[in-house]
Structure 1
Amino acid sequence: MSLTPRSLARFKGTGSRAMSSGSTQRVFQLKVDPLTGNSEWVVIDEQDQEGQMPEYPQKPLLATTSYLDMLNDSPRNTAFRQAIDKTVSKPCHVLDIGAGTGLLSMMAARAMGSGDSTTRRGTEGIVTACESYLPMVKLMRKVLCLNGMGSKIKVINNRSDELKVGVDIPSPADILVSEILDSELLGEGLIPTLQHAHDTLLVQNPQTVPYRATTYGQLVESSFLWKLHDLRNNEAEACDGIHLIPSGLDGILHANPQQYAMHCDAIKEEIKLLSEPFKIFEFDFWKRPDSHRETELHIKATNDGRVNAIVSWWRLQLDCEGNFFYSTAPAWINSTKDSGARHWCDHWKQCVWFVPGQGTSISKDEEVHLHAVHTETSISYNLKTQAPRIEVMQDSLDTGDSQLILSPERIAIYGDSEWRDSMLKSMRNALQERVNSLCVVADDSLFLTLLVAHLSRTSHVISLFPGLRDKGAQYLQAVADANGFSMDRVEVLEKRKTHLTMHDTHQKKVDLLIGEPFYYGNDGMLPWQNLRFWKERTVLDPVLSEDVLIMPCKGILKACAMSLPDLWSSRRCLSKIEGFDHSIVNTTLGACGELPAPEEGPCLPFYIWQCGEIKELSEIFTIMEFDFSKPIRPCYGKAQVDFIEPGICHGFALWIDWVMDSENSIVLSTGPDKRYWKQGVKLLGQPVAVGVHESRNMGEYLSTVIEASFDASNGELIIGHNFL
């Protein structure tokens, strides 16, 4: 699962700490330097006075979380409001767990007239908003103050499982309202939260919003989904002689056996449905849930095919009568009753569970046995027609500490024949006429390390593995024989060093410095944050030979003007949500549109192909180049972009193409058509009509100038634009 501050706060802790000093509360936020991988705690000062913004506004603190997208989800907001209005019909005690900006708390207070002067003493309603993430608590207080709710809702900055009746709250709550759900449903700690609430914080037989959640699934065939996890069978088709998963070491390199959130509508043309949807588990919010359950399902196949994955989703019943629903089902599921069924949002997606290996072959009308298990935080599956998932994991235990777990996208890249062929050609060219060379792999590329050792029997390879470290060394030891090299020619530095010395390189200058670039754990970062390779190259400068060959030799920042209506709508500035003003949160949450000058929304990483409705409005163009033959330095680039398609421009997609050789003949793109990498997305403050129409209106633009500057001190990319 993907942990945001929202889920971390409810679970095991947060990426922030807090200290108080006088009237100022200091928030410590964990910041990672993209150029070095180093992390540090930075101080964010905000005044305690409600509604007062910091004198020197920080960068959007919560821009990378799902709060903004969720608050822009109108069907979700409406469904919760309708259910709360119906459920909270009289003054009572309402507890909101994971309150966020306080939206559900304000709905509850309004529904029962909490704090109304006409309410008799002793019958006043109480709303308690529990939120453990301090930056969000501070933001919530501002929202409550803005809406005149500051005195009507008690805010508690703590985890719900640390609350005590009679200490933190005056009495058990009559009604629980909460939204502690992720795409899988359970990943934000729904079950333990509900268990503790029912044990200690709620009256017997409480009312809840939501009332129930039901998970559903469907068997599918998809070569795209297969390639995201079955590296062994995909690399069998490669002709490079590299064995990332050698025979007998099936579990040494794999994706985690878990559900992965994904917009499955984006690949619906590449999915063959092999069954009707089936119900898996029901979770009743109004009673204490079990920590563990298992169920055996008998599913009739509706088509011949090979089951590569199980696509799953959930459906909320918000009220006890069953009048209000919300669903995360894919678009191919027909349901006119559900809110959210046709609404693109990024905070909740469908989930994909990969069936091991090449999948399971089934015939139409054949009955498939599916075993489903849920724990406190996850749901897993096993098709009984093949070896149980637990047996697959037991087989891999023979690899010991050498096991590596990578993201599905990384698994797919390593199994991609075109990508491997490009790497093979680049490395063969690099090794020509270089005898007894010293090669340093600067990043976490397993493939390049194996490739150099495989191709050159005389080269010595030092892999820095800044993220993998010892795990990378253990992996190499395990696969060395299968790849035809000895570990006396390959080494991984035992500890991370700021600078390499000639002692580390055995008194020899480095002839080859290579990378993909890829850094373990950076899968969700912006494309140019892999320019860490340029920083590493600069740090290594004292040990590089005069004729060192650096691969890639340069990076090219590419961009394309895009129509992204769904993504823009999910990130747009907030005004009133179900009658409650949220405009004060826009800067903190990194919204786009209607921000006061000169503020702009941040550039964020997305898989463009999963962003709902998309359309390219311009040719792909180059903004700037990064020359790795020289030490890292500030860069500036500017380009005029002509629109070739009419439409509404919502922003720009940006990525880096890696030029592997000096002849520019081998270029590895990470653009939108390459679905294994995220692009950076810079959304406009306001959508703009562009392109040539038959009857052009005055508001339409034919071109734009886009410029960007790269700050070599912190790895940040500043992007500006001017429509002409």
Structure 2
Amino acid sequence: MRSHLQTLTRSVSVVRTHTGSSRRPSPKTINNHRMSTNSTGLMFQLKVNPITGNSEWVVIDEQVDDVSPKPMLATTSYLDMLNDSVRNRAYCKAIDKTVSKQCHVLDIGSGTGLLSMMAARAMSVDSSSSSKGMVTACESYLPMVKLMKKVLRANNMNSKIRVFNKRSDELEVGVDVASHADVLVSEILDSELLGEGLIPSLQHAHDKLLVENYRTVPYKATIYGQLVESTYLWELHDLYNHEANVADGIHLVPKGKERILRVKPQQFAMHCDALSEELLLLSEPFKIFEIDFWKRPDSHGETQVHIKATNDGTVHAVISWWVLQLDEEGKIFYSTSPKWINSLSSNIDLSSSDYGTRDWCDHWKQCVWFTKGKGLPVCKDEDICMDATHTDISISYEFNAQSQRSEVDHNDLSTQDSHITLSPERIAIYGDNHWRVSMLKAINYALKGKESPLCVITDDSVFLSVAVAHVSKSSHVIAMFPGLGDKGSQYLQAVADENGYSMDRVQVINTRKQQLTMNDTHQNKVDLLIAEPFYFGAEGMLPWQGLQFWSKRTMLDSMLAEDVSIMPCKGILKACAMSLPDLWRSRRALENIEGFDHTMVNTTLGACGPSSESPCLPFFIWQCGEIQKLSDTYTIMEFDFLKPLSSCQGKAKIEFTEEGLCHGFALWIDWIMDSTNEIVMSTGPDQRYWKQGVKLLAEPLKVGPGRCSTVIEAHFDSSSGELSVNNR
């Protein structure tokens, strides 16, 4: 699945965790790491220092099992997937039905080898037998291959399954394997279904690796959709119309340049059940595409879907999910549908099929496609025509309504080279009136009493760059844009006229420079050093990624004026105790999965359990299923940005205020924007636009007022940029 990374055009795999995203969040892949192999066959991991933004290549040694893949694999969702008992049971039953005799089974994207072991058991493969029964497992991600071999040895399956550290398109019949495979088992699926290269993988397997009348598990997948109205979903993409409701004089997306700041035209994975009370459903579920695993799929497909509106409203989004039919008979199913969907399809008789209600899990979510602009107004019983298109890795939608086409597609061609693609949450933040008012208040406070100030923006905030130039007509602005680079410079130039500044007051420093010098500032000291902080490309990471600002501030220490204003001036690490039963269950230690021992993977995957420790992981708390706060908010430690970067530590005794089971702690940073501590930008659980860090307990703890307490300790290492959190 996630680790297979089978997009055939890739030579270097860029992989991320949880929401992150290279093209979209890929639940089983790795956070902010890049993998590459050189001519000697060695594999390297590109690791990014969270405080400096610098990278270094680290060799992954295939021969030494204990050389730690732990930091990478602990931040993947393999654990979440393996804890999905409904998925595991469905695959097991389908494999038992399909692999009914000894044959050659090919497992693409093998992970821990679970499906391979199911297939081997179904055949009762005996290595001493002269029969042709065999299982070929291919897995391209080396750390996962090493872990799989441990699992196979522990289950006495290592002699029954041949493992290849390759993508399936690198396997050759007659070279790697002796014969074409009779059965294909795979799970290279993401929330959108196609994003992990399912179609190219099936095409290559059909052409090169499988017999003519092969069988597959799964058998086919059907993609369904539903039209919804949602103010929240609208705010995640339509900055132009959202900004029109804000009267601060700043125009991040001026008229005629509506797409200069935008989200990618793609589907976004999201736990839509968390929004169910805010959604107005505007249609019944409808079928979009069917992908057959048992025959060669097409790379391109188009269909026109006719939908009847069930309510008056505005279509802000298409929510989609898929239903997996795992067996040829149509008795075994798995669905990623939201909970408000009561049935898979009118064509499926659930009374005679094997379909389990899915628990909350993070490796597969629903998908959201944003409707352009303000959305599509519809009336009850109106017929709506929607065009759906799929490529070999993605699905897109277009409504055949004139009101949809005229609003955004007339963009000024001059913005094509200067547009910036941001995450939906970042788009929503930039349109949020309260956030903008607070930021402008902090800027005005920092500028107070300064004439012709030199202002340096150390992060990738286009809002701050435009706002300072707009508010202070005598300022000189230097934007460092470490992630946006030239795109940021082109953007500032494109919106200058509408925001009342000229580019002779605004400068973007070459992002390849390690540090500003006095030559860059024409020998002037920095009067105002600011950030949100926001670093392009670090969205979805742990909240203390923003401490990169402290490193930038320290590098510029000798260039700061005596009365310099620094914004934010302080960061405060906060925490509160949480009941997170769904999240904890998805990250709990593994034992027996459909008869196969997986205890040996717990430490490497960062499971919650007595013999392994769960790391801090980034999650949108509000999307984590059932949640409850069990304590007040506590300060763990403070980061003083008025002083140079330094290691620090802190702790707090957490007293519980509510009855319940404590599964862990939410952690975040409150950014103190002014020296009076009045302007606070919180990234806590009450805020939807930021991910929090989650530290899960080894075992849930029964708590209540006055019943017990716990201590959280945190240590920040300024040399590595790592923040460790422990509780006792």
| Mapped pair 1:222 → 2:238 | no
1:409, 1:676 within 8 Å by CA — same for their partners in 2? yes
Contact 1:5 1:65 in 2 (8 A): no
Q: In structure 2, which of residues 17, 31, 52 is the aligned counterpart of residue 36 of structure 1?
A: 52
Deviation at 1:8, TM superposition (A): 6.4
1:312 aligns with 2:331: no
Structure 2: gaps spanning 5 or more residues: 14-33, 344-349
Q: TM-score, normalised by structure 2?
A: 0.93
The answer to whether 1:194 aligns with 2:202 is: yes
1:6: how far off?
A: 4.3
**Where does 1:512-661 land on structure 2 (aligned, <5 Å)?**
512-595=528-611, 599-661=612-674
Contact persistence 2:62–2:142 (CA under 8 A): no
> Which residue of the partner structure matches residue 456 of structure 2?
440
CA distance in 1, matches of 2:537, 2:158: 41
Q: What are the within-5 Å matches in structure 2 for residues 164-203 of structure 1?
A: 164-203=172-211
Judge conservation of contact 2:302–2:387 (CA < 8 Å) in 1: yes
Q: In the alignment, what sits opposite 2:716? A: 710
User: Which of 122, 125, 130 is the aligned partner of 2:133?
Assistant: 125
- Closer/same/farther in 2, CA of residues 396 and 196 from structure 1, 3 Å limit: farther
Which of these residues, 305, 310, 333, is aligned with residue 325 of structure 1?
333
Q: Structure 1: which amino acid aligns with 2:5?
A: S
Instruction: Determine helix, strand or coil for the equivalent of 1:322.
Output: coil
For residues 126-154 of structure 1, the C-alpha deviation after alignment (integer angstroms, 9 at most, x for no partner) is 10001111111111111111110111011
Please state how far the C-alpha of 1:495 moved relative to its aligned partner.
3.8
CA distance in 2, matches of 1:10, 1:585: 29
Report the AA paired with residue 113 of structure 1: S
Which amino acid counterpart does residue 346 of structure 1 have in structure 2? D
Would the aligned equivalents of 1:251 and 1:397 in 2 still touch at CA under 8 Å? no
Return the offset for 1:498: 2.0
Q: Secondary structure at 1:430's aligned position in 2?
A: helix
The amino acid that maps onto 2:726 is: G
Counterpart of 1:638 in 2: which secondary structure? Answer: strand
The one-letter amino acid of 1:326's match is Y
Please tell me whether residue 408 in structure 1 is matched to residue 421 in structure 2: no
Per the TM alignment, residue 57 of structure 1 is displaced from its structure 2 partner at its CA by 4.5
Decide which of 96, 115, 126 is 1:115's aligned counterpart.
126
TM superposition score normalised by structure 1: 0.94
> What is the SS of the residue equivalent to 1:449?
helix
Query: Tell me, what secondary structure is at the counterpart of 1:361?
Result: strand
Q: 1:624 to 1:470 in 2, by over 3 A?
A: same
C-alpha distance in 2 between matches for 1:138 and 1:644: 45
The offset of 1:397, in angstroms, is 4.3
Aligned pair partner of 2:515 in 499, 503, 511: 499
In structure 2, how many angstroms separate the alpha carbons of the residues matched to 1:478 and 1:692?
57
Call closer, same or farther: CA 1:557–1:144 in 2, change over 3 Å.
same
Shift of 1:29: 1.4
Question: In 1, are the aligned partners of 2:136 and 2:162 still within 8 Å (CA)?
Answer: yes
Query: For the structure 1 residues 135 and 227, does the alpha-carbon distance in structure 2 shift closer, same or farther, using more than 3 Å as the test?
Result: same
Q: Give the secondary-structure state (helix, strand or coil) at the position aligned to 1:140.
A: helix
Q: Taking every aligned residue pair, what percent have the same amino acid on both sides?
A: 67
Alignment root-mean-square deviation, CA: 1.9
Tell me the SS of whatever aligns to 1:245.
Answer: coil
After superposition, what is the alpha-carbon deviation per residue over 1:301-360, rounded to whole angstroms, capped at 9, x for unaligned?
000000000000000000000111000000000136674643110000000000011101
- CA deviations 1:399-449 (Å, max 9, x no partner) are 131011000000000000000000111111111111111000010000011
Is 1:148 aligned with 2:164? no
Query: Quick check: 2:567–2:673 contact (8 Å CA) kept in 1?
Result: yes
Deviation at 1:45, TM superposition (A): 3.4
Shift of 1:10: 7.0
Q: CA deviation at 1:390?
A: 11
Deviation at 1:641, TM superposition (A): 1.1
The more displaced of 180-189 and 567-576 is 567-576
Residues 29-108 of structure 1 mapped to structure 2, 5 A cutoff: 29-45=45-61, 47=63, 53-54=65-66, 57=68, 59-108=70-119
1:11–1:189 CA contact under 8 A, matched in 2: no
Q: Find the counterpart in structure 2 of residue 429 from structure 1.
A: 445
Which whole-Å CA distance do the structure 1 matches of 2:215 and 2:440 have between them?
A: 62
User: Would you say the 8 A contact 1:115–1:124 is kept in 2?
Assistant: no
The number of residues matched between the two structures is 699
Distance in 1 between residues matched to 2:361 and 2:233, nearest whole Å:
21
Query: Cα 1:106–1:396, aligned 2, differ >3 Å: closer, same or farther?
Result: farther
Match of 1:664 among 677, 692, 697: 677
Q: Distance in 1 between matches of 2:459 and 2:239?
A: 21
Deviations 1:51-73 (A, max 9, x none): xx42x646433122221111111
The structure 2 residue matched to 1:16, chosen from 4, 29, 35, is 35
Which amino acid counterpart does residue 571 of structure 1 have in structure 2?
Answer: R
Alpha-carbon distance, 1:386 to partner: 3.8
User: Which residue matches 1:696?
Assistant: none
Preserved CA contact (<8 Å) 1:98 1:130 = yes
Distance in 1 between residues matched to 2:42 and 2:77, nearest whole Å: 24
- Which one-letter code corresponds to 1:472 in the other structure? G
In 2, Cα distance between equivalents of 1:19 and 1:465: 31
Residue 372 (str. 1) matches residue 388 (str. 2)? yes
1:499 is displaced (CA, Å) by 2.3
**One-letter amino acid matched to 1:553:** C
What is aligned with 1:205? 213
Relative to structure 1, is the Cα distance of residues 686 and 424 closer, same or farther in structure 2, using a 3 angstrom cutoff?
Answer: same
What amino acid is aligned across from residue 543 of structure 1 in structure 2?
A: M
Query: Aligned partners of 1:441, 1:97: CA distance in 2, in Å?
Result: 47
CA–CA distance in structure 2, aligned partners of residues 237 and 71 of structure 1: 46
CA gap 1:347/1:389 in 2 versus in 1, 3 angstroms: farther
Contact 1:35/1:532, CA 8 A, preserved across alignment? yes
Contact conserved, 1:515 with 1:551, CA < 8 A, in 2?
yes
Per the alignment, residue 16 of structure 2 pairs with none
Residue 161 of structure 1 pairs with residue 169 of structure 2: yes
Displacement of 1:718 in angstroms is 1.3
- Quote the Cα distance in structure 2 between the aligned partners of 1:390 and 1:366: 20
* CA displacement at 1:492 relative to structure 2: 0.2
Name the SS of the counterpart of 2:5 in structure 1.
helix
Alpha-carbon distance in 2 for matches of 1:288, 1:8 = 16
Aligned with residue 721 of structure 1, among 721, 724, 727: 727
Q: Secondary structure of 1:488's partner?
A: helix
Give, in angstroms, the shift of residue 388 of structure 1: 6.3
1:351 to 2:367 alignment: yes
Corresponding letter in the other structure for 2:119: A
Aligned to 2:484: 468
Distance 2:219 2:3 in 1: 26
Q: Is the 8 A contact 1:18 1:134 kept in 2?
A: no
Report the CA distance shift for 1:720/1:155 in structure 2 as closer, same or farther (over 3 A): same
Gaps of 5+ in 1: 694-700
> For residues 151 and 73 of structure 1, do their structure 2 counterparts lie closer, same or farther at Cα, with a shift above 3 Å needed?
same
- Residue 259 (structure 2) aligns with: 251
Aligned-pair CA distance for 1:115: 1.6
> Aligned partners of 2:355, 2:567: CA distance in 1, in Å?
50
Q: Is the 8 A contact 2:577 2:665 kept in 1?
A: yes
Are 1:6 and 1:65, in contact at CA under 8 Å, matched by a contact in 2?
no
Q: How far is the alpha carbon of 1:159 from its aligned partner? A: 1.1
What do residues 16-54 of structure 1 show as CA deviations (whole Å, max 9, x unaligned)?
A: 345899xxx964211001111111111243535xxxx42
Distance of 1:680 and 1:396 partners within structure 2: 41
Instruction: Tell me the distance in 2 between the aligned counterparts of 1:200 and 1:720.
Output: 51
